Amino acid sequence: MKIVLALLVSLLAIADASAVTREERGNLILEDIPAADTAQAARLDSYLDGRNASFVDWLADGSMLVSTRFGDTAQLHLVRQPFGAREQLTFGREPVTSASAPTTGAAHGFVYLRDQGGDENAQLYYHDLTNDTTQRITDGKSRNTGAVWSRDGRRIAYASTARDGVSYDIYIADVPGSLAPRFVMNGMGKTWFVLDWSIDDSKLLVLNYVSINESYLYLADAVTGTLTPVDAAKEPVGIRSAKLAPDGRHVYLVSDRGSEFAQLRKVDTALGDVTVLTERIPWDIETFDVSLDGRYIAFVANVDGVSRLTVLDQTNQTELAPPIAAGQIGRLAFDRTGKRLALSLETARAPRDVYVLDIEKNALQRWTESETGAVDASKFVAAELIRFPTFDRVNGKTREIPAFVFRPTRLGPHPVVIDFHGGPEGQYTPGYSPFTQFLVNELGVVVVAPNIRGSSGYGKTYLRLDNGLLREDAIKDIGSLLVWIGLQPDLDRDRVMVMGGSYGGYLALASLVNYSDRLRGGVDTVGISNFITFLQNTSDYRRDLRRAEYGDERDPRMRAFLRRISPLTNAERINRPLLVVQGLNDPRVPASESVQMVGLIRARGGEVWYLAAKDEGHGFRKKSNRDAYLQTIATFLTKLIASKGPGQ
């Protein structure tokens, strides 16, 4: 990372620095970015002033940990009852990224993760609720994963890159305690996660993650680290999550083994017998939890981008369909009684909040109510699911690509913003976005969010359609979307822009390379500009994970292909304005990816706005920075889509 950051100054020197208007505003760097319209900025601020709340974990006494923001960053709060006060527990300039608490056992606190400036070298901390003190558990510099509590509530297990910066080794730590964490298992240069403890705390359920299409599940001895495979397959399979059953014999896991979709499986570790619990559901299972007594299993299916919750009573095999609005369900967990299920829920028209399902009554009770800001939330629009035809065929029929569309209520034709998700193994799902609602309601923009090939949620065949040498097929899907837009009477095909983050940032750049004649401009946020330099400079622990998706740049044939399709190679074909946004501490897509793109376009006389943050990484997490980022996008979009003809 030091080498990458050292290159930034020299890369910027490609362009004529004297022609760049530069401003430093706190930790933000703004280059060639004009001032925002005051009235429009005030309207956008009203949308951005809202907040949300996410369920984090239950505490043993029946209260819960909730993540929400009252200042610049999201912190942990204690909520004791429905609509109870949110009592802040963690503080600081950096957000808390995740946390967990023991549902049973002796501990009287919780552990949480926090990094510095978005560098993703998250450290584990233990917060004692009895005396309100905090203890750092890890070394202060390595990358560490979320911790899993032992059944007795005295220890945590987690993975860390502390030994060599690459391998995710497994450690166990006494919490609270003064002894150094104990090394359990050598990660051997691979990525590992701890998922659960056995009922007697003698074993750990661990996952070796290779890619979204390939993972391996094991039981590891908590003393020696010796591994025993669970549900081993002859071919690679994708495993999403897993838990040990309370009976100590079975393992529940979500896997796509023998199926197009990720299914919930129950595996007998003694006999090897397998029961598929969701075989009749032709969609991916996203998440699940099991009550402590093993009676109930709650699982969420991703049905065409919308979450559907089911609770299965294993005593009589009956299913409960809870009364939950169509939306996006986040983390869910049973309390220690097994009679209450907590979850996070958001819709396109309402921010994320925390709810608790009473299993016996099948009644949903709200625990938090988040503010939407000083705006009329009744005017927020829902998303419409559409499908557009693309260039190839499947089973003798034209392949169709799913997309979500947000339309203004006023008459068109409307300008269009195409919003690409990251991943690439991600999926756009219609959750709450105040910025999208601003674009639709205040600027009269139609937002189209496609799930082009390579997106998750539509089966593993669809997921693999853009891997390696198939990358450009995903770009062809974008061309097909532009054709579809041109055929819609309420859409203005002459006022179309693209935007996206991470892999979505690459898609925005690739769209400008291939379709500049049909676009007004684009926004690239932490996007890949050159696949070869990206793979060479991304963090060591991520390199093999990304090679599995994009291809191995060390192979001469693949290297030539990656060079040919990289936006930086084709920068001369970008002849529309571009906004580039970057966190300078990004460990995934290094800042050099953005800077080299900015420098080359400037050197060719193109128009490019550049926004960077010294205290952010792969995306902007602090409210003040994110507000400035969205205000900049709004100014950029308004400038380019206000007129009626291309290039005017």
Please state at what angle helix 556-565 crosses helix 471-486, rounded to 10 degrees: 20
For 543-568, the pLDDT digits (tens) are 988 998 899 999 999 999 999 999 99
Q: List, in sequence order, every beta strand (DSSP E) within 70-168.
A: 74-79, 87-88, 98-100, 109-114, 123-128, 133-136, 148-149, 155-160
Read off the pLDDT band of 104 (50, 70, 90): confident
Ranges of each domain in the chain = 2-48+375-458+489-641, 53-366
Phi-psi region of 383 (alpha: psi -120 to 50; beta: other; left: phi over 0): beta
For 250-266, the pLDDT digits (tens) are 999 999 999 999 999 99
Give the residue among 338, 232, 333, 319 at the shortest CA–CA distance from 281. Answer: 319
Model confidence at 17: pLDDT above 70: no
112-128 burial code (b ≥16 CB/10 A, e <16): bbbbbbbbbbbbbbbbe
Averaged pLDDT for residues 604-619: 97
Q: Facing residues of 414 across strands?
A: 491
| Inter-residue contact 594 to 619 (CB < 8 Å) | no
CATH among 3.30.70.640, 2.30.30.140, 2.130.10.120, 1.10.260.40 for 53-366: 2.130.10.120
- Here the tokens at position 337 are 């009684």
Averaged pLDDT for residues 48-60: 96
Read off the pLDDT band of 541 (50, 70, 90): confident
- Here the tokens at position 269 are 């570790």
Query: Strand, helix or coil at 533?
Result: helix
- 67 vs 12: CA distance, rounded Å: 39
Hey, what CATH topology would domain 2-48+375-458+489-641 get? Rossmann fold (3.40.50)
In angstroms, what CA-CA distances link 35 with 22, 52, 361, 579? Answer: 12, 29, 55, 14
Query: Strand, helix or coil at 17?
Result: helix
Give the sign of the dihedral formed by CA 253, CA 257, CA 258, CA 261.
positive
**Percent helix, percent strand, percent coil in the chain, to nearest 5:** 20, 35, 40
Read off the pLDDT band of 178 (50, 70, 90): confident
| Burial (0-12, 13-18, 19+ Cβ within 10 Å), 440 | buried
Q: To which H or E segment does residue 394 belong?
A: strand 384-394
Mean predicted lDDT score pLDDT of the chain: 94
Check residue 415 and give its pLDDT.
Answer: 98
Read off the pLDDT band of 106 (50, 70, 90): low
Check residue 16 and give its pLDDT.
Answer: 52
For 122-150, the pLDDT digits (tens) are 999 999 999 999 999 999 999 999 999 99
Q: How far is CA 343 from the centre of its chain?
A: 18
ω into 415 cis (within 30 of 0): no
Q: List, in sequence order, every beta strand (DSSP E) within 464-540.
A: 491-501, 521-525
Q: Which residue has the higher pLDDT, 177 or 50?
A: 50
